[in-house]
Structure 1
């Protein structure tokens, strides 16, 4: 008897972890990804496209490891030269001072960019890039998957590895009740990311800085991460969830000027950057999770996974994908 066909929508770390775990059991999948590469918010962008350029990890800045399953994946990527610890100097900008901030857990980054961990997991997989899934529908027997508004594919089992708020739109008003109930409590906060490139090093003694501010939450000197080849200063600043939500409809130009001004105020002596850009992540921080490892509807053969299942961490997204793989494998 042939294996049922399995489609996974989304090639962030949750979707790729799900497909990778199934591949380890000899179970093939097809992964559909709308972008041109894997990784989702484990993202690095290079600006401008021509040299000299700056590289920015404008999504997730780093990740830690607490579970044995994730440790195995990170160690395997490390042996391939795709992941290393980030020996950053940690700081904390309070309302009154800039001071050291101790961190007990090791933080890891991908080499040469944050998506390297996901690329290492995706290496043996069938990932179809540029396939934006616009609709999924079940006829009582199989799933129909519409891609790019015109093409269709079919699968016996489907796994949705996307932010929870994006899921209902795929069903065009016919979201299964079980999925509605799972994602009902989930709430994300957006995040504006400011990218700044400087020709000279900033006179700051820390590489990762927590910021107590109503606008800014975090700043990172990305060029201190291992495997980065740029010489000039590359900084990423994340706005606070509340400010990002209040300014979600601002233009990138408005945001970058506002955030740069506040950064210069928080860190006096900051020069004018040679380059600035801003990017909005609409579903960046899980503020309320579903409280379960993954979603699995055995009757419909429909699964869903992501950081929204159990928490706002890279590792949580990975474990959610692995948990869904176990449910699918059990159903076969």
Structure 2
């Protein structure tokens, strides 16, 4: 047997905190380095201590920190206490409720709010707010109350919340069957030449940067993802677009747009917080810095959401205004493009 692996009985009093399947294409990599890229705020020292204490498992066997992961390994971090995310203490956090009935509600999530608890985010999430405002919300397949789908922390916009088991099941099936309607508005770097288009490509975790997703040509890697887009307004160095989702993969819009060379404006994780298009003029750099201050997050908003009501069978569609930070940034770009692009010439 590999001397870096020990068989163990998983019936001990251990609780699963993290679980990852190593994707196809992953080169051999020490497990401490591998987990550093996946678990937010985890240091190599902490991971090595967890391995020494027998808390890291690969394919149901404990491993040492120098074990090298390979494709399709099932990696689990097991600790002697339940995950903090399972201890939901209701918090009186205001919610922007767009619509509510006995079956469901629509929430317009503010940027900066994490949807559900996870490593490093054990308080202040949407789930904590829901636990305060509503009793006995149904659990989804991940044991999270009310959540049918989610959007990233720094993405704003619409989320539907199920209030009954029947609504949870019905809505989840619509999202899985791709019959729900989801439109996002995004500001992206560069001039999107085509007025409209479709981006297709399987999405899975990046093999080097585990905090990012990536697009893979190999159909056996990741999950299929389809994003339709159309141009709403052009500002020369950036473009305002609408994105319609057919699928709902993690970071789908963010990674699909980067894949075609149009990274989201100020998307730090994918490099959009750098000047990717424009001039070398100091005045331009100052303008971009001001835009980043006005919109201190990725420029993405879940603007519209449509689905069939679980009880009435009625097709319902909801729409929201862009948040003020997003509107202010767009106005800055409108002004800049009108007064400066003629002088600066073509990109």
TM-score class, shorter: under 0.3
Larger Rg: 2
Calculate the TM-score normalised by the size of structure 2: 0.25
